[in-house]
Amino acid sequence: MHFFRGDYVWAGFQGPAQRINETWKGLTGPVDAAFRNHNKDKPLEHQRTYVFKGDKVFCYFEGQLVSGFPRLISKEFPGIPDNVDAAVECHSGECKTDSVIFFKGASVYIYNSQEEPPVKQRHWTSLKNCTAAVRWLERYYCFNGINFTRFDPVSGELLSPKPLDTRDYFVSCPGRGHGHASRQNATLMSLKDHCSGQPFEAFSSDDKGRIYAFRGGLYFRVDSNKDGWHAWPLSHTWRNLNGVVDAAFSWENKMYFIQRSQVVIYLSDQIYIPVLGYPKSLQKELGVSEVDAAFTCPDSSDLNIIRGGKLKIVDLKQSPRMPTQEKPIIHSEVDSAMCNSHGLFLFKGESFYHYKDVEELVASTELPKPGNISERFLDC
C-alpha cells in the first residue's frame, strides 16, 4: 500500500518517507488521487497504477511510467472531472463489474469503460467527502483528513459505527494501534496471531474460492496473504455476526454460519448481505440439533455434518431438510472441516487430515499422516 502526502510517499505500513519524484518518474507532489486498476479482460490496463494530479493522469506499471502518459483525464477517463478528490478500484463480485469509483466533493462517479455511457453519477449522502479512498482485503475505506470510515461500494452505505483514526490502523505510530491497549493480554494476542497454533472452530470456502478460518469471534483470510495476515472481527465482513462460529459452509452463493443451536445465512453476490428471517434454529433449518463440523463440496447439494464420529448427509435441495444417510468415520472428534477443489480437509487442534473426497473418508480404516495447519494454510 502506498500513502501520498505533499511531496512524499510512504510504501507499506511503516518505513521512511521518499520523495515522490524519486520513485515515480515524471511525477511531483502533491497528488489528488491514485488507484491500482483491476480488469483482467483488458490486460494492457490490468494492475496498472493510475495517479491523478489536476487535469492529468499518470499511468505506471511495475514502477515505470507507461508510454503516452501523462494524459488528460478527459481523454483517458471521459466523463470524469478534473481535480478529483479520491479514487478506488472496485472488483467484479464486490461491485457489479470491474469499475472505478471517483469522488469529488459531494459527488461520486462510477466509471466502467465497457458500458455506455461509461459514467454513472451518484450522491451518497451517508458518506462524507473523501480526501482519499482505498480497497484493502475486499473492504472499501473513505478517508477524511486523519480519520476513515468503511463503506459499501455498491450503495455507499456507511459500514463503520464511527470514524476511526488512521494512525491506529493504517500506519505504524509509536504508542498507537487498535491493539495497543490489549498487548499485555496474552490470550487475546494469541487468538489474533495466525501462527500461534491455537485451534480454529471452523474453516470454510465460498463459491468465489475465498477461504476463511474462524477463531474466537475473529477470522483470517486463508487463501491470500498479499496484504499481510490480520485477524478481523466477524462483523467486519458479515454484518451483525458476532461470537464463536461452530461451523460454516457455502451453497448456491450463500454462506451459512452455525452458532450453537442457530443458523444464520448471508448472500454473497457482491458483499455479504444477511438473509431476512434469520437466525433460525439448527433443527428447523437442517434437521439436526448439534454439529462438530459441516461442509459442502463443489458441485454437490449434499451437506455433510460430522458429529461424534459419524457423518450425516443432508440434501440441501430437499424440503424439509433432514439427514438421509448416516455413516461411521474413523475420526472420533474434529474441530472443523472444509471441502474444495483440493479435496477434503478435517481439522483437529494444530493438525489437519487430507482426503481426496468424502468416499475416501468413509472408507478409511487408518488415519492419514497429519499435516500442520499453520504451515499448510497460514504460511507460518
353, 332 contact by CB (below 8 A)? no
Identify which has the larger pLDDT, 116 or 57. 57
**Beta carbons within 8 Å of 350's beta carbon, 6+ residues apart:** 197, 199, 372, 373, 374
Over residues 85-107, the mean pLDDT reads 93
**Per-residue confidence at 128, pLDDT binned at 50, 70, 90?**
confident
Over residues 44-66, the mean pLDDT reads 93
Q: Tell me how far CA of residue 163 lies from CA of 175, 184, 240, 280, in angstroms.
A: 20, 26, 18, 33
Tell me the per-residue pLDDT of 235-255, one tens digit each, with 9 for 90 and over. 888 988 999 999 999 999 899
Q: Dump the DSSP string for 294-328.
A: EEE-TT--EEEEEETTEEEEEETTSSS--EEEEEE
Tell me the per-residue pLDDT of 178-206, one tens digit each, with 9 for 90 and over. 554 444 455 667 778 888 888 999 999 88
Grid coordinates representing 145 are: 483528513
User: What are 247's strand-pairing partners?
Assistant: 258
201, 245 contact by CB (below 8 A)? yes
Grid coordinates representing 204 are: 470454510
Over residues 222-228, the mean pLDDT reads 67
**Beta carbons within 8 Å of 139's beta carbon, 6+ residues apart:** 150, 236, 237
pLDDT at 182: 43
**Per-residue confidence at 116, pLDDT binned at 50, 70, 90?**
confident
Nearest to 280 by CA among 307, 257, 302, 301: 257
User: What are 229's strand-pairing partners?
Assistant: none
Superfamily of domain 184-377: Hemopexin-like domain (2.110.10.10)
The answer to whether the 2-168 and 184-377 domains have the same CATH topology is yes
Over residues 303-316, the mean pLDDT reads 96
160, 150 contact by CB (below 8 A)? yes
Amino acid 57 reads: V
Q: Tell me how far CA of residue 350 lies from CA of 45, 88, 222, 334, in angstroms.
A: 42, 39, 15, 11
Q: What is the distance between the alpha carbons of residues 282 and 273, in angstroms, rounded to a whole number?
A: 20
Domain range list for the chain: 2-168, 184-377
User: What are 334's strand-pairing partners?
Assistant: none
pLDDT at 227: 55
pLDDT at 364: 96
Q: Whole-prediction pTM value? A: 0.66
Grid coordinates representing 55 are: 487535469
CATH class of 2-168: mainly beta
Grid coordinates representing 211 are: 477461504
pLDDT at 270: 65
pLDDT at 346: 98
**Beta carbons within 8 Å of 289's beta carbon, 6+ residues apart:** 261, 282, 283
Grid coordinates representing 293 are: 463440523
